[in-house]
Homo-oligomer: A and B are copies of this chain.
Amino acid sequence: MAIKVIEINKSVYADSIKLADETRQRLKEQGTCLLNLMASPGAGKTTLLLKTIENLSSYCIGVMEADIEASVDAEKLQAAGVQSIQVHTGGECAMNASMTKQALDEFDTSGLDLVFLENVGNLVCPAEEDVGAHKKVALLSVPEGDDKPLKYPLMFQVVDAVVITKTDARAFFNFDDEAVCERIHQLNPSAEIFFVSAKTGEGLESWCDWVRRNLFV
């Protein structure tokens, strides 16, 4: 089956806050939770998604892959049998409420319990946009370093949870678990933090439990 690719119209809706709220409300009414997943390029978003969806196999889950170009992630998901569409942002560095609405209009979410938006790989711009998600999650991979909350504070302030990924590489990269938690909680005391390795399965269960608790079903 060919990958469905949406080329986004960049025109911004007049009232993006209203639009985001409408999206949130409409999805909630139909019982679909929208989870906005944000991170740097290569932090492991797609790999985490694949493992998460496998773990939550009793739920109907779809993925909207947002990228500047290419469809490599949507191809990976489709190969794993995940219902997904590819959104091309036309150069934009993040999804916004209008772009998300356009994508949702093309994606049949009516039977879905959960939709992941895999945002453009970027630790800056996506933090500034309310796309209409019910929950926001940032991934930070161990190779990126434990100092990133200091340098990209907004991302860690706006999210409900942070997943530290590639934890199997912890020793290799001299990553300080305690320091990263302290830095995140200084910015965002209520942020839940999960340490996950998609490779070894470490922490996957707690992360999936958190996702499950946030569904409307």
Residues of A participating in the B interface, judged by any CB pair closer than 8 Å: 40-42, 67-70, 72-73, 91, 93, 120-125, 128, 141, 143-145, 147-148, 150-154, 166, 169, 172-173
User: What separation, in Å, do the CA atoms of A91 and B10 have in the docked complex?
Assistant: 22
Chain B residues, CB < 8 A from A145:
42
Chain B residues, CB < 8 A from A173:
169
- Given A93-B124, A123-B121, are A148 and B41 neighbors across the interface (CB < 8 Å)? yes
Q: How many copies does the complex hold?
A: 2
User: What separation, in Å, do the CA atoms of A41 and B154 have in the docked complex?
Assistant: 14
Which residue from B91, B144, B154, B172 sits with its C-beta under 8 Å from A42?
Answer: B144
Cβ-defined contact, B123 with A41, below 8 A: yes
Chain B nearest CB, measured from A180 CB (Å): 12
A123's closest neighbor in chain B, by CB?
B41
Give the one of A123, A125, A128, A166 with max B CB within 10 A. A123
Chain B residues, CB < 8 A from A41:
40, 123, 144, 148, 151-152
Chain B residues, CB < 8 A from A150:
69-70, 72
Chain B residues, CB < 8 A from A152:
41, 68-69, 121
Cβ-defined contact, A69 with B153, below 8 A: yes
Chain B nearest CB, measured from A178 CB (Å): 17
Which residue from B70, B144, B151 sits with its C-beta under 8 Å from A68?
Answer: B151
Cβ-defined contact, B69 with A147, below 8 A: no
